[in-house]
A and B are shown apart, each in its own frame.
Chain A
Amino acid sequence: MHGTLNLVGYGLSAIGPAIATGMIFAAYISGVARQPEARSVLQPLAFLGFALAEALALFGLVLAFVLK
């Protein structure tokens, strides 16, 4: 077996953002389902939450490749 433990660490650290993204869109979908007219209010919030969670995942990815 060859490889680096960095990628195992990245795999572990990606669990958090994955769950976060799921929860954000679950809340967004149920909010829009209950109150369709709230969509225009909820959409930017959901996108910002997605961006924050995704930024952490990408940060982990970059660090996994950069750190020696």
Chain B
Amino acid sequence: MASNDEGALWSIFGYLISGLLIWGGIGMALDHWFDKGHHWFTLGGFLLGMGASLYLVWLRFGRE
């Protein structure tokens, strides 16, 4: 059973990374697109991605 735990931990890590990269990347792209000299979309994208991936982890692993 311990090996399944390890797989779960790595897939949690994968979810967190891809959430940050996808939504943070979208935020950075928006900032680049509008080019207003601020970076609020980037920050918002990272926070949104982190929140969404934590929610996803809760759905996958925390709901019992």
A touches B in complex, CB < 8 A: yes
Q: Which residues of A contact B29 (CB under 8 A)?
A: none
Decide if the interface of chain A is mainly helix, strand, loop or mixed.
helix
- Candidate in A43, A44, A51, A54 with the most chain B CB atoms within 10 angstroms: A51
B8, A47: Cβ atoms under 8 Å? yes
A58 proximal to B (CB < 8 A)? yes
Q: Which residues of A contact B24 (CB under 8 A)?
A: 62, 66
Q: Mark A25-54, 1 if CB is under 8 A from B, else 0.
A: 000000000000000110111011011101
B42, A44: Cβ atoms under 8 Å? no
Q: Which residues of A contact B64 (CB under 8 A)?
A: 40-41, 44
12 A-B contact pairs sorted by A residue (CB < 8 Å): A47-B12, A47-B57, A48-B58, A48-B61, A48-B62, A50-B9, A51-B15, A52-B54, A55-B54, A58-B17, A58-B50, A66-B28
Residues of B whose CB lies within 8 Å of any CB of A are 5, 8-9, 12-13, 15-17, 20-21, 24, 28, 42, 46, 50, 53-54, 57-58, 61-64
